[in-house]
Amino acid sequence: MELWKFITAVFGTWVEKVGIFLTILPFIEKIPRVKQWLSEKPIIDRFVPALWVIGGICVLWGFYAAWAEEHQKIWSQMAYMAIRVNEPWIPNRPSEPHGGRAWVDFGLENTTQYPATKEATAAELVIAHLDHPIGVVAPDNNPSTPELEKAAWEQMLRDQENTEGHLVTTYDPFEKNFKSAFTKGVMLKPEHDRINVEQIDLLYLVGIEKWESAGGIHAKTFCYWLQPPIEGAVQVDKCRTHNDYIDDATDYLKYVQ
């Protein structure tokens, strides 16, 4: 059935292009130099080879037009998963140790009218040591740096390499939900104090969101840093790096299955 649709699409384009040529052919024949050229040899001998060439070109054109149309249909049906933070529907819980590990919640949302299938998330809270306490004003009033963000991202990838797998699910159109990210290991009280009391360490929420749709396998990398909790709330700020959409996520499948 699909093959027949493709053949009819190609044939339709071929007929259209050949029809255009046949329409303008009578006007071409009236050009003086063309008339003289045709008078020297029968028209059938002149135009049959040309018609074969034009027909072949139109067939190739038909193949391309049919492919381009289907390609556009596929990409117009691509689902997109967005990372959400600091929104009312996401539980705003403190990053205090939970079973020995610090944790934070973040949201996922399918922002399109198409389903996102085989969705899986690899995320982690990574501890980074600052050059100066958060209370000391940085040159741009931002304690995070691209170097710290890169180090946190690479640490998350190393930790995920040995993970057996992640929960695979489906997000219907416009569906949203939240997930939790944890530190890899148990965080002892001195480590917790360096983040929330002394403020000389910073927690990064870094991860990969992978999903499939009609357009193929896609991914979204994300990176956020956490301000120290104020009255139990966690404020999450976006990193300046590692927040990118990837339209071909095959290189990341070893991290997110």
Number of Cβ within 10 Å of residue 206's Cβ equals 26
H/E element, 202:
strand 201-213
Q: Give the model confidence (pLDDT) of 200-216 as tens digits.
A: 888 899 999 999 988 78
Q: Give the model confidence (pLDDT) of 226-242 as tens digits.
A: 887 655 667 889 999 99
The per-residue b/e assignment along 114-149, b for 16 or more CB within 10 angstroms, e otherwise, is bbbeebbbbbbbbbbebeeebeeeeeeeebbbeebb
Number of Cβ within 10 Å of residue 247's Cβ equals 11
Which residue has better confidence, 74 or 110? 110
Looking at residue 126, its pLDDT comes to 93
Looking at residue 239, its pLDDT comes to 93
Two structure tokens written together for 79: 């689902």
Three-state SS at 19: helix
Which residue has better confidence, 134 or 100? 100
**How confident is the prediction for the chain on average, in pLDDT?**
75
Distance CA 121, CA 107 (A): 11
Three-state SS at 192: helix
Give the CA count within 13 Å in the CB-facing half-sphere of 94. Answer: 11
Residue 174 DSSP symbol = T
Q: Rg for the chain (alpha carbons), in Å?
A: 30
Q: Give the model confidence (pLDDT) of 136-170 as tens digits.
A: 555 556 788 899 999 999 999 999 887 777 888 99
Q: Give the model confidence (pLDDT) of 35-83 as tens digits.
A: 555 555 555 455 556 656 666 666 666 565 555 554 444 445 788 999 9
Two structure tokens written together for 26: 């009578």
What pTM does this model have? Answer: 0.68
Distance CA 49, CA 55 (A): 10
Distance CA 163, CA 122 (A): 9
